[in-house]
Amino acid sequence: MTNSEMLIPEANDQQKERGLWMDALYRLAQNKASLIGGGMVVLLVLMAIFANYIAPYSFSEQDRQLTDAVPQWVTVIFPTIKPYAEVSDKFPIGADYVGRDMLSRLIYGARISLVVAFVGAMISLFIGTIYGLTSGFFGGRVDNLMMRFVDIMYAFPSMLMIILMMAFFRSSFAESEPGTLAYVMNSIDQRFGGMLFIFIGIGITAWMGTARLARGQVLSLREQEFTLAAKALGASNSRIIFKHLLPNVLGPLMIRVTLSIPGYISTEAFLSFIGLGVNAPTPSWGSMISDGAVAIRTYPHQAIFPAIALSFTMFAFNFLGDGLRDALDPRLRGTQ
């Protein structure tokens, strides 16, 4: 066999692979919804990364003289605010109940929502995919055992579990002795403004759907000729899983994970709303809404602006997810 002959199949292979992804990218670019959604997400990410430079004030800086103050234009949108609020143009969209700049807190709050979104997606993708691939690939007893475990976990009301675990973490780990694992986790959590436990809470329930999907895909793929061929050539199990099966299941998994991101964002907002989320004074849209909702009749801006920011972000991810699905898998169009 000459050199050139050996090169041909490889070259073809590469071309085909690039073709597939280029094609997906092309279709993604054709899809207006995903472009708009993607653009909104990029803007939000930039805003979160450069929050230090964009935000006019620090998120915890207080002006005691100007609690609940609003600028002129806010009194135009919310006319009912006039009898209560002091008018001051110091804060671009007004101040909260202890005189912190709402806009700066909104900008920093994007960090929490986005970090939770990406970490939730990553946990769901990594753990779920590996779990599902292993289960589906080995099949038989292993599959049965692993999937029963998922079934049991699935039967639990996940939100109740998250609430319970958060309450447990928050009260039990805070009082642990130095030197224990609980203490270390608690100090890491403190360092990150209370986000570690949110990741754990969301991570515990997020991977199961992905695992089921990955397993289902692998079950059908492993019966196909190319898997058999790889096996016949003596490829190791991990090589088959990661080189042959993974690229084939990645498309549907990506779609699913993107579509589940708004769920993680709203879960974090919910947890922060009921007081089990981030620690004060770290701003989260959920806790801002919770603080603002108390005074919704007098100072509506304190709840409405974070509510709009939250919906805007979820809207962006929903749009992106929809577009991604239409572009990568036209058969699934309109489902979920």
Partner 1 sequence: MGRYIIQRFLWMFLVLFVISMITFAMMHAVPGGPFTQEKALPPEIIANLEKRYHLDEPYWKQYLLYIDNVMVPHVSSDAAPEMTDEALIEINLPGGRYLRWINFGPSYSSRSRTVNDIFREQLPVSIQLGVISMAIAITIGLPLGVISALKQNTIWDFLGMSVAIFGVSMPVVAMGPILIWIFGVALKWLPPTGWGAKPPFTLFFIPNTIGSWDFWKHTLMPAFAVGTGYSAIIARLTRASLLQVIHEDYIRTARAKGLSERIVTTRHALRNALIPVVTILGPMFAGVLTGLFVVEQVFGIPGMGKYFITSITNRDYPVIMGAILMYAFFLVISNVFVDITYAWLDPRIRYD
| Cβ 304 to partner 1 shortest distance, Å | 6
CB of 307 or CB of 324, closer to partner 1:
307
Q: Does 165 bind partner 1 (CB under 8 A)?
A: yes
DSSP state of 209: H
- 237 and 219 Cβ atoms separated by less than 8 Å: no
Indicate whether 145 belongs to the interface with partner 1 (CB under 8 A). Answer: no
Beta pairing partners, 62: 100
DSSP secondary structure letters along 227-266:
HHHHHHTT--HHHIIIIIIHHHHHHHHHHHHHHHHHHHHH
Q: Does 308 bind partner 1 (CB under 8 A)?
A: yes
Nearer to partner 1, 160 or 233 (CB): 160
Does 168 interact with partner 1 (rule: CB under 8 A)?
yes
Task: Of 278, 220, 252, 263, give the one whose Cα is nearest residue 335.
Answer: 252
Among 184, 228, 274, 280, binds partner 1 (CB under 8 A): 274
For position 232 contacting partner 1 by CB under 8 A, the verdict is: no
- The CA distance from 292 to 187, in Å, is 29
User: Among residues 1, 8, 155, 233, which is the contact residue for partner 1, using CB under 8 A?
Assistant: 155
CA separation for the pair 74, 69 (Å, rounded): 10
Q: Does 184 bind partner 1 (CB under 8 A)?
A: no
Contacts from 220-223 at CB under 8 Å and sequence distance 24+? Answer: 221/245, 221/248, 221/249, 222/136, 222/137, 222/139
Q: Least distance from C-beta 242 to partner 1, angstroms?
A: 29
In the numeric block, which tokens belong to residue 124? 């769901």
Out of 38, 71, 292, 323, point to the residue binding partner 1 (CB under 8 A). Answer: 292
Cα separation, 248 vs 242, whole angstroms: 10
- In order, the DSSP letters of 115-157 are HHHHHHHHHHHHHHHHHHHHHHHH-HHHHHHHHHHHHHHHHS-
Binders of partner 1: how many residues, by CB under 8 A? 53
Distance CA 38, CA 212 (A): 27
The only residue of 14, 30, 80, 236 in contact with partner 1, by rule CB under 8 A:
80
Residue 185 interacting with partner 1 (CB under 8 A): no
Query: Contacting partner 1 (CB under 8 A), which of 254, 289, 320, 324?
Result: 289
Q: CB of residue 88 vs partner 1: minimum separation in angstroms?
A: 22
Task: Work out which of 150, 221, 253, 310 binds partner 1, going by CB under 8 A.
Answer: 310
The residue within the footprint of partner 1, chosen from 27, 36, 40, 78 (CB under 8 A), is 78
Q: Which stretch binds partner 1 (CB under 8 A): 23-31, 118-126, 246-254, 294-302?
A: 294-302
Per CB under 8 A, the list member of 63, 216, 315, 329 interacting with partner 1 is: 315
Evaluate whether 333 touches 325 at the Cβ level (below 8 Å): yes
Interface contacts to partner 1, rule CB under 8 A: 78-80, 152, 155-161, 163-165, 167-168, 171-172, 175-176, 262, 265-266, 269-270, 273-276, 286, 289-290, 292-293, 296-297, 300, 303-304, 306-308, 310-311, 314-315, 318-319, 322, 333-336
